Structure formats: structure tokens, C-alpha cells
């Protein structure tokens, strides 16, 4: 039951990401998502959480809940861009599309046979919806920070899917993925800063204007 609550909160935080234009608020939402996600392995395993689950939870919460937001908030401060002004898809339309995606996620997760290890079918739904939200954020927004956030949400979905499909997941694989995105976000944060310094903006649609 507690896990179900966590997953509903995850779904709502995804909707909030679609509805909000302020980058600071979005970064904090993704951070909250990281913390919620860190709790999933603890609640997901039946009985007492093992050492594996605790290690993954701690690493996940520290990296996704505190390190990434710090890095990205710094990037926002450096680039002095704090909101997405004109996204390709408006915020209200984004929420509508998000709801359609949520319905699709429910339909799709019904088709999949839940594995015996999975605690609730909502896990797969929330994972699919996170994947959808992440991809949608990447394609529908212009400011490059949104692409980083979309990537993080996408990875959250993959993580959740792993937690649902595997039950007891491999510590090494999960930590490896965590290290990968750590490096990726680190690089992206620095790249953002450099793009901004060179071109005075971080709008992805204008990056194609270079031609030299």
C-alpha cells in the first residue's frame, strides 16, 4: 500500500514536470522524484530490505536527490535562464498529452503479465509513464536544461522498470547505470555552461544555425 502511494506521487510529479515552465521548480521536482525512487527498492522487496537494496537506495538518493539538483541549479544560475518561454507544445496541451500517455501506460501495463516478484502492477505503469514523460520533455522543449531533465526522468523510468521486472536486481548493473548517468549529467551540465558562453543562449532549435 505504501509502495502504491509512492508510485502515485511519482505519476503526479511527472504531470507536474509537464505542466511547469520554471526550471528551478522542475529541477526540484526531479530531485524529489529521485528521492521517491530511492525508496522504491526499500519498500518493494518483501520483508526486510537486504544490503543490496539499501546500497542502491542510498546511492540513488544521494546522487539523484542532492548532487544532480545542486549541479543543475548551478547551471541555471550561471546561464541566467530560469524559465522556458516558448515550448514547442504548450503546458496545458502537454498535460493533456501526458494524461493520454498515462492512459496508454495503464493499457500497456495491462497487456504485460506481471512477474511474481513485482509488488503491484502500478509499478510497470509508473515506469512506462516516466519513460513517456522523459521522451516527451526531450522533444517538446527548447531550453537545453529540459533535455537533461527529460533524460533523468527517462532513466528514472528505466530504473523503476528494472525494479518491477527483476524484483531482486543486480547490484552491479544498477550501480553501473547510476555511474553512467552521473558522468552523463556531469558532462551535460558543463556542456550547457559552454554552449551558453559561446552563443549567449541554450535554445536547442537555434543550435542548427551554426553552419561553419
Partner 1 sequence: MNFNWLPPLLGLVLAPLLLGVINRTKAFFAGRKGQPLLQSYFDLARLLRKGAVYSSTTSWVFRLGPLIGLAAMFTALQLVPMGGQKSLLHFTGDVVLFCGLLALGRFATIIAALDTGSSFEGMGASREAFFGALAEPALYLSLAALVRHTGWSELSASLGVLSERNWVDVDPSLVLVTVALLAVFLVENCRIPVDDPNTHLELTMIHEVMVLDYSGPDFAFILYGAALKMWILGSLLIGIVLPALSSSAALNVGFSLLGVLGLAVLVGIIESVMARLRMIVVPQLLVVASALAATALLLGVR
Provide the binding-site residues for partner 1, judged by CB under 8 A: 1, 4-5, 8, 11-12, 15, 19, 91-92, 95-96, 98-99, 102-103, 106, 110, 121-122, 125
Long-range contacts of 78-81 (CB under 8 A, 24+ apart): 78/193, 78/196, 79/145, 79/192, 79/193, 79/196, 79/202, 81/23, 81/143, 81/145, 81/196, 81/201, 81/202
Least Å distance between CB 197 and partner 1? 34
Closer residue to partner 1 (CB): 19 or 63: 19
Three-state secondary structure call for residue 88: coil
Least Å distance between CB 8 and partner 1? 4
Cα distance between residue 82 and residue 145, in whole Å: 10
Closer residue to partner 1 (CB): 1 or 172: 1
Residues in Cβ contact with 155 at an 8 Å cutoff, skipping those fewer than 6 apart: 134, 177, 181
Closer residue to partner 1 (CB): 70 or 91: 91
Element (H, E) at 196: helix 171-199
Least Å distance between CB 26 and partner 1? 15
Least Å distance between CB 97 and partner 1? 11
Closer residue to partner 1 (CB): 95 or 195: 95
Least Å distance between CB 24 and partner 1? 18
Four-point Cα dihedral 37, 41, 45, 49, nearest 10: -130
Closer residue to partner 1 (CB): 55 or 95: 95
Amino acid at each position: 500500500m505504501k509502495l502504491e502511494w509512492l508510485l502515485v506521487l511519482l505519476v503526479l510529479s511527472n504531470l507536474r514536470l509537464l505542466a511547469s515552465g520554471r526550471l528551478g521548480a522542475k529541477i526540484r521536482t526531479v530531485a524529489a522524484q529521485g528521492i521517491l525512487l530511492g525508496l522504491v527498492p526499500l519498500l518493494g522487496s518483501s520483508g526486510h530490505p537486504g544490503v543490496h537494496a539499501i546500497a542502491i537506495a542510498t546511492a540513488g538518493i544521494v546522487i539523484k536527490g542532492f548532487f544532480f539538483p545542486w549541479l543543475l541549479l548551478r547551471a541555471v544560475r550561471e546561464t541566467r535562464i530560469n524559465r522556458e518561454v516558448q515550448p514547442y507544445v504548450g503546458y496545458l496541451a502537454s498535460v493533456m498529452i501526458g494524461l493520454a500517455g498515462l492512459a496508454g501506460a495503464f493499457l500497456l501495463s495491462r497487456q504485460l503479465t506481471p512477474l511474481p516478484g513485482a509488488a503491484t502492477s502500478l509499478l510497470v505503469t509508473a515506469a512506462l509513464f516516466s519513460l513517456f514523460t522523459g521522451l516527451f520533455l526531450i522533444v517538446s522543449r527548447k531550453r537545453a536544461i529540459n533535455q537533461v531533465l527529460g533524460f533523468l526522468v527517462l532513466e528514472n523510468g528505466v530504473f523503476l522498470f528494472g525494479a518491477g521486472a527483476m524484483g531482486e536486481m543486480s547490484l552491479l548493473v544498477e550501480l553501473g547505470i547510476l555511474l553512467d548517468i552521473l558522468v552523463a549529467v556531469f558532462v551535460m551540465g558543463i556542456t550547457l555552461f559552454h554552449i551558453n558562453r559561446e552563443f549567449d543562449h541554450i535554445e536547442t532549435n537555434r543550435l542548427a544555425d551554426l553552419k561553419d
